[in-house]
A and B are shown apart, each in its own frame.
Chain A
Amino acid sequence: MKTIYKFLIAAAIAVVAGAAVGFVTVNPVANFVTSGSNIKNGPWSTNLAYGSSGANPYIKAWVAENGLMAVSASLSIYLAAYTDDSGQPLAANCDYVIQGPAPKSGYWNITVYNENGFLIANDQNRYSYSSTDIKFEPDGSFKIYVSKTPKQGNWLPAGNAKTLNVYLRLHDSGTAYSNANALKAAQLPDIVKEGCQ
């Protein structure tokens, strides 16, 4: 009889404690699994499994919570940067230049967001530059300045943001960035800190 009681107590503890532990650890596990499968190139990172029906359940859960309606990499690739090239977090009181050769995409766009992931209000209503409205350098490369104070050329105002994050969206890229090896080897824009106030 005692054995039955012991078994029932053990089973109850296992169900209650196991369910609680399993429930509260979903997000940490999803973050771990997703970040572990991210593809990194300099300050940029992405995940080719976003939006894919073949993605594992933890990546799907992460996408649902952090980027609902993410399209699959066959359509567009979104690369995020939260640091500069030296690995330092992007601070809005610093000046940065995003520079490099034009991405090999039919259409691309670079957007800067504030710490909440929203566009930064500014008098120019300028939140991004794209392949169709950016001013290129004579050699075909580009430079985008990110700062609180105005700059000549392609300038993205940092406004009242505290920290920054940058998104590079690549559309219609063909096979240029179609797999992990191509993305890791690609020459993506540099994010260089020029100085801080």
Chain B
Amino acid sequence: MKKWIPWIGWTLLAVIVVAVIVNLIVAVCIPTSIMEATIAKKFNFPSNQWVFQPPITDQSTDVVRPAPDDIYSLCVYDVSQHPLRVTSMTTQYWTISAFAMNTDNFFNLTSSQAKTNPVEVVFVSRGMTYQDPTGKAQVVTTPSDKGILMITMVIPNQDALPGILQAQKQTTAELVK
């Protein structure tokens, strides 16, 4: 029996080492796998096109804890082949946020930071170089070729809703070829 004791000790130590390594690897993989699943199931629309979400109601269960006075526009970007030019009219409280496939929120721009209206942003893959010929667009390098863009427009009061919906519909996404 005594001969087994060192083996049991070394085996337990190896179990712990493997557990720590697997634990860390799974944790690192979770964000990307959840983003891929979300894009495949919930955001299953064509890449590089905006989808305009309706105002949030008590029937909205796509995401947990939705903000009832926010109106969202979503775009699954894919800049693996060409840069993507986004144009959007800003409203009083407007933000564009970009998320990489590992869920990192790598870019934000608010209406108070925007220098032009409409705002123009060109998203470019890490392997590309792009010079905006107009000089108006902000060029942003994406950490992953695919990800999600989200524009949030706050509805400060119900009277503002028609104007915000009109501004939302003027949001465009176009591959720069």
Contact = CB atoms under 8 A, between A and B. Distances in A.
Mostly helix, strand, loop or mixed at chain A's interface?
mixed
A116 B58 CA distance: 12
Contact of B35 (A10, A64, A74): A64
Contacts of A10: 7, 10-11, 14
Contacts of B21: 18, 22
B30 A70 contact: no
Contact of B58 (A57, A109, A121): A121
A15 B95 CA distance: 47
A18 B14 contact: yes
B84 interface: no
Contacts of A68: 34-35, 38, 63, 103
B157 A132 contact: yes
B5 to A, nearest CB: 12
A13 to B, nearest CB: 5
A72 B105 contact: yes
Nearest to A12: B11
A154 to B, nearest CB: 14
Contact of B68 (A25, A128, A132, A171): A128
Contacts of A107: 93, 154, 156
Instruction: List 9 A-B pairs, minimum CB-CB distance, nearest first.
Output: A18-B18, A22-B22, A14-B14, A51-B105, A132-B156, A117-B64, A22-B19, A22-B23, A64-B31
Given A63-B31, A127-B58, 18 more contacts: A11-B14, A13-B15, A14-B17, A19-B19, A22-B18, A26-B30, A51-B103, A52-B105, A53-B106, A60-B30, A64-B34, A71-B108, A117-B65, A119-B60, A128-B68, A132-B156, A167-B65, A169-B67
Interface of A: 6, 10-11, 13-15, 17-19, 21-23, 25-26, 29-30, 51-53, 57-58, 60-61, 63-72, 74-76, 106-107, 109, 111, 113, 116-122, 125, 127-128, 130, 132-133, 165, 167, 169, 171-172
